[in-house]
Amino acid sequence: EKGGYDYFMLKEIAEQPRAVADTLLGRIAADGRLVLDEMRITDQELREVDKIIIVACGTSYHAGLIAKYALEHWAGLPCEVELASEFRYRDPILSRSTLVIAISQSGETMDALMAVRHAREQHAKLLGICNVNGSTLPRECDGVLYTHAGPEVAVASTKAFLTQLVAVYLIALYIAQVRGTKWGDEVFAMIQLLAQMPEKVEKVLETMEPVRELARSLANERSVLFLGRHVGFPVALEGALKLKELAYMHAEGFAAGELKHGPIALIEEGLPVIVVVPPRARAVLHDKIVSNIQEIRARGARTIVIAEEGDETVEPFADTLIRVPAVPTLFQPLVTTVPLQVFACELATAKGHDVDQPRNLAKSVTVE
Ligand code: M6R
């Protein structure tokens, strides 16, 4: 059932182009508009929303952090992202016009379910993003948008994460379509580009051998740092989480803009730092991160740079360069996360760990 792979995780990483395509399937109409009637939340209800709060745990929380950028940009709505385990014990300010989006692969994560109940008490609208049909989360929510990743067996989430990203892009673009924000130009173009993402993910997977080699060469390191800006920041957090779970290694993700506020003190000779570089089209973001790479390299870091094809500015400062296809900034996590999954999986395997069943972890955390 591992389809010829040694681990489910390897199979699930490889399935990502298909999972992304399946999550888009039937949701883009022939005229290029999105159709999400299945969501069970009406267009009228979406027009009344004035604030969005996302609740989730772990990797699903990272998808939520990325969703914030997309929802603010395309849907033009204020959006907060909360760890479900924190949200449920706070006194959040919600109303009938608040849309709470709970993201959970399993649909059984206790903290996510409790966060949803907490939001219901304050009459918020509840939308689940979930991968498991018939799980608890969709029953607890007013509406649901399923990801179609197929069963995810490995404890570390990979294909579910990519499909969660697709789901949040669909929701952000759909709200923009319904509310008329920017509809007609950017949103329409983005829907077309989203449809091309399965091929882009496929292209990334075809070029992963150097990443596997790199991972094997770093198997004896004690610590790896990850840096990103904008949507690259949650990608950095996700890369670090994968490495912690699978390789039991110290790994931390930082917002590159925070470097000078503390983390740069950690940089020492030879420390591997993986940097996610935004597309050149976002010149301000891009140039800032190129300066960050120079700063850490000047202090001895071993720079591992993930940058889009054709970006030559990073070449002089990258000890290792990992190329990903050029895609719009907000979609970039779909292509930049994949090398980080492969990296963590290969490094852990090189250390002799079972990547499907990391120690101390369960696939769904149904206790508090
Ligand atoms: O099923 P969920 O999406 O609610 O699970 C949330 C987290 O437990 C999960 O993403 C966890 O962080 C994974 N092991 C990450 O790889």
Mean pLDDT estimate for the chain: 96
3-state secondary structure of 324: strand
Residue 225 β-bridge partners: 252, 273
Q: Cβ < 6 Å from ligand 1: which residues?
A: 57-60, 104-106, 109, 112, 155-157, 245, 361, 364-365
Share of the chain above pLDDT 70, in %: 99
Share of the chain above pLDDT 90, in %: 93
Q: How many residues does the chain have?
A: 368
pLDDT level of residue 184 (50, 70, 90 thresholds): low
Instruction: Please tell me the distance between residue 165's alpha carbon and the centre of ligand 1 in angstroms.
Output: 14
Nearest to 248 by CA among 333, 156, 180: 156
- C-alpha pair distances (Å), 149 with each of 25, 129, 327, 328: 12, 12, 22, 23
Q: How many CB atoms lie within 10 A of CB 323?
A: 18
Which strands form 143-146's sheet, in the order they lie side by side?
79-83, 51-56, 98-104, 125-130, 143-146
**pLDDT for position 140:** 97
User: Is 0.90 exceeded by the ipTM?
Assistant: yes
Instruction: Please tell me the distance between residue 362's alpha carbon and the centre of ligand 1 in angstroms.
Output: 9
Q: Tell me the per-residue pLDDT of 212-234, one tens digit each, with 9 for 90 and over.
A: 999 999 999 999 999 999 999 99
Question: How many angstroms separate the CA atoms of 134 and 151, rounded?
Answer: 13
Q: Tell me the per-residue pLDDT of 233-270, one tens digit each, with 9 for 90 and over.
A: 999 999 999 999 999 999 999 999 999 999 999 999 99
Question: How many angstroms separate the CA atoms of 182 and 218, rounded?
Answer: 45
Q: At what angle do helices 159-179 and 186-194 cross, to 10 degrees?
A: 160
Nearest C-alpha to atom 7 of ligand 1 is from which residue? 58
Q: Tell me the per-residue pLDDT of 34-92, one tens digit each, with 9 for 90 and over.
A: 999 899 999 999 999 999 999 999 999 999 999 999 999 999 999 999 999 999 999 99
pLDDT level of residue 141 (50, 70, 90 thresholds): very high
- Residue with token string 């109409």: 29
Phi/psi for 349 (5° steps) reads: -65, -40
